[in-house]
Chain A
């Protein structure tokens, strides 16, 4: 059986829900407690594909600015989920910065953008239209609304990234 391993990163500001997305995707669970990630945590998620198996090596990077500037974390990444928190307006503007960091280390890396915490509709500060405009017109990447709490869009986001990487 053909087995491929690809490194993908989770990028985004602190507390946007990167760790929760990884936990939902890899372990199928959600923990409401917020624990700031320091450094990086690497997980592996095997995906059965028509040609064999794709092992996604998922790098969950710290979102705090003191720790996410280490470009060595990004080396060799085939792609990234770049995440914003729909309940915090300013996190939308950070998507471009993280995309640039990724592209500086890996020019051909693919990106999928996540508007996370879409279940918190009453607290939403980012309209889907704004995310759509930014991602399609400026960042040239697909976007999904995700919720690590309910699982909505999470698998789809990782699978979309996997497809983009495979197409590459």
Chain B
């Protein structure tokens, strides 16, 4: 046995081939004009995962399926009509299951002016292609996520439109009988029977109050829909804030008296006008007054103060209720949020009022905030722009 055929020498040959393959990512094969593999570089078997003996003497397309159908294109290279034939980023699964990416190039082997064969170059581009694959994977996943998001948005939009339609329809259908209930209750209260029977009068007043609350709830729901759909239209104009607050306070006068609540109002006589939509400004303070009345215990005090500074007017409404924790304050303006006492059914409400207050104040360029300490009531502060700013 020759030294070169010994097991040690063969093992060294294989090691040399593997090392060469690691150092040189490029391997080659010489092809005859009829595309039979005539010779291979030592590292080609490593790159193609095919033994050299299984390559030499066989047609290229039998060793590499990638060249099935490429015969015509390779013939143009052989004839010199094309300089090169390339197949890039060919993915191959290795025996161990990992993926390898190869670039194939076939070019003429020139001798004098004739081309007695072709040269196949095989380049391992796995490392670079893996990086590209990751970039492409991320991009494609992002595009799929964007498309899914767009579909979800479109569906939400459709559902929201349907909700608005349904809400307006229900509001309209509820309003008609509700108006009848309110009107006939008022008429009944004026009847002699109600005037002379205190119990009947109390029942009718209760019906009227409940119907009024339902009417207010319908208003809130319609406002909410307008705010969320962006259909709210405002007519900003100079508004006399003390007059607005006084008018709202007057609406609560009976209730304040019944519950023995004190109202203390304090603002400078020259408080400037603010830039706001008058009906919506009234609604904001109506909701805040309503809130203050609800959460102030009988015999308590509601304080309203105002001051102008730095192009803004700030109004505060403070109740003398039990106050709120930090966590409750953080959620106070969230839609449908009800603080503990309220959510336990002790105080009537829907969780819409303060959400609407915040949305309306912000729509008018203002800010609303709440501060509190447990046991010391809650202060709501509304800041609005001066009309001349």
Partner of B68, one of A7, A14, A40, A41: A7
Q: When the two chains form their complex, are residues B91 and A39 in contact, meaning their CB atoms are under 8 A apart?
A: yes
Could you say which interface size class chain B belongs to?
20 to 34
Q: When the two chains form their complex, are residues B88 and A70 in contact, meaning their CB atoms are under 8 A apart?
A: yes
Q: B67: shortest Cβ distance to chain A, in Å?
A: 9
Return the CB mask of B119-138 against A: 1 if under 8 Å, else 0: 00000000001001100110
How many A-B residue pairs have C-beta atoms within 8 angstroms? Tell me: 80
Q: When the two chains form their complex, are residues A14 and B140 in contact, meaning their CB atoms are under 8 A apart?
A: yes
Q: A58: shortest Cβ distance to chain B, in Å?
A: 9
> Contacts of B143 on A, CB cut-off 8 Å?
14
Q: B143: shortest Cβ distance to chain A, in Å?
A: 8
Q: Does A93 touch B at the CB level, under 8 Å?
A: no
Q: When the two chains form their complex, are residues B91 and A6 in contact, meaning their CB atoms are under 8 A apart?
A: no
Q: B78: shortest Cβ distance to chain A, in Å?
A: 15
Q: When the two chains form their complex, are residues B141 and A72 in contact, meaning their CB atoms are under 8 A apart?
A: no
Query: How distant is the Cα of A34 from the Cα of B141 in the complex, in angstroms?
Result: 9
Q: Does B307 touch A at the CB level, under 8 Å?
A: no
Q: Does A120 touch B at the CB level, under 8 Å?
A: no
Given contacts A5-B61, A14-B140, A64-B140, contact A39 B88 (CB under 8 A): yes
Given contacts A44-B65, A88-B147, contact A76 B71 (CB under 8 A): yes
Q: When the two chains form their complex, are residues B69 and A40 in contact, meaning their CB atoms are under 8 A apart?
A: no
Q: When the two chains form their complex, are residues B129 and A38 in contact, meaning their CB atoms are under 8 A apart?
A: yes
Partner of A57, one of B65, B71, B85, B87: B65
Given contacts A38-B129, A40-B91, A67-B136, contact A72 B85 (CB under 8 A): yes
Query: How distant is the Cα of A48 from the Cα of B150 in the complex, in angstroms?
Result: 46
Q: Does B11 touch A at the CB level, under 8 Å?
A: no
> Contacts of A5 on B, CB cut-off 8 Å?
61, 68-69
Q: When the two chains form their complex, are residues A6 and B69 in contact, meaning their CB atoms are under 8 A apart?
A: yes
Partner of B90, one of A7, A42, A66: A42
> Contacts of B65 on A, CB cut-off 8 Å?
42-44, 57
Return the CB mask of A55-80 against B: 1 if under 8 Å, else 0: 10100001010110010110111100
Mark B residues whose CB is within 8 Å of A: 61, 65-66, 68-73, 85-93, 101, 129, 132-133, 136-137, 139-141, 143-144, 147
With A36-B136, A38-B89, A39-B89 given, can you name 15 additional A-B contacts, CB distance below 8 Å?
Answer: A5-B61, A5-B69, A6-B68, A34-B144, A38-B91, A39-B129, A40-B87, A41-B91, A43-B65, A44-B65, A67-B136, A72-B86, A72-B88, A76-B70, A88-B147
Top 3 closest pairs, chain A to chain B, by CB: A39-B89, A76-B69, A7-B69
